[in-house]
Structure 1
Amino acid sequence: MGRKVYNRQFKMAAVQLVLEENLFVKEVAKELSIHPNTLYRWISEYEEYGESAYLSSLSVNGETLIIYKVLYCLLNETRNISERKRLLFSK
């Protein structure tokens, strides 16, 4: 059986229970059926990266982040062109 993978929302919620609700790591980890060391690691990642934590390779690899930003801009530009065409030809 492979390693369990948790999504960003789950990790953020777990970290917030400890940091904002002042619950104990051991208590939260037990309730969520995760190892306390896992939760400590998520907290460390959050404290280091803030809101960009848990974005997979994006928070680790700056080159990947740049590629995603370029793709995002290209997709937005394509959407804008499509919208302009629609408006132009709908008249």
Structure 2
Amino acid sequence: MPRKTFDKAFKLAAVKLILEEEQPVKTVSSTLGVHPNSLYRWVQEYEKYGESAFPGHGSALRHAQFEIKKLEKENKWLKEELELLKKYRVFLKRSLK
């Protein structure tokens, strides 16, 4: 069974019911047919990212985590590259003497 997906407008409307109209999460959950945990996560993302939350086909949090992982991988590769260049430089200095 495929997972339910909700668009940005739906998520924002659900979050605004909770935050602005102060409806309980349990009530919004049963009315919209969304698990309460999803609603809590949407509220957290909205509070952190505001109107720019829920970009594309994923959450802002997952997008940020993906970006961090990508940058960490690139950083690791660059550090390895730098170490290799340092070793090569030492080798060249020795061989030229």
TM tier relative to shorter chain: 0.5 to 0.7
Deviation at 1:58, TM superposition (A): 8.4
Q: How large is the Cα RMSD of the aligned pairs?
A: 2.0
1:3 aligns with 2:3: yes
Cα-to-partner distance string for 1:33-89 (whole Å, 9 max, x where unaligned): 01100000000000111110001358425x7xxxxxxxxxxxxxxxxxxxxxxxxxx
Q: TM-score, normalised by structure 2?
A: 0.59
Runs of 4+ in 1 over 4 A off after TM superposition: none
Looking at structure 2, the residues matched to 38 and 58 of structure 1 have their Cα atoms a distance apart, in angstroms, of 11
Which stretch has the larger CA shift, 50-59 or 18-27? 50-59
1:12-31 map, 5 Å: 12-31=12-31
Q: Which runs of 5+ in 1 are unaligned?
A: 64-91
Q: TM-score, normalised by structure 1?
A: 0.62
Rg larger for? 2
- One-letter code of the match for 1:13? A
Looking at structure 2, the residues matched to 33 and 43 of structure 1 have their Cα atoms a distance apart, in angstroms, of 16
Q: How many residues align?
A: 63
1:2/1:47 CA distance change after superposition, 3 Å = same
Q: Which residue of 1 aligns with 2:35?
A: 35
- One-letter code of the match for 2:7? N
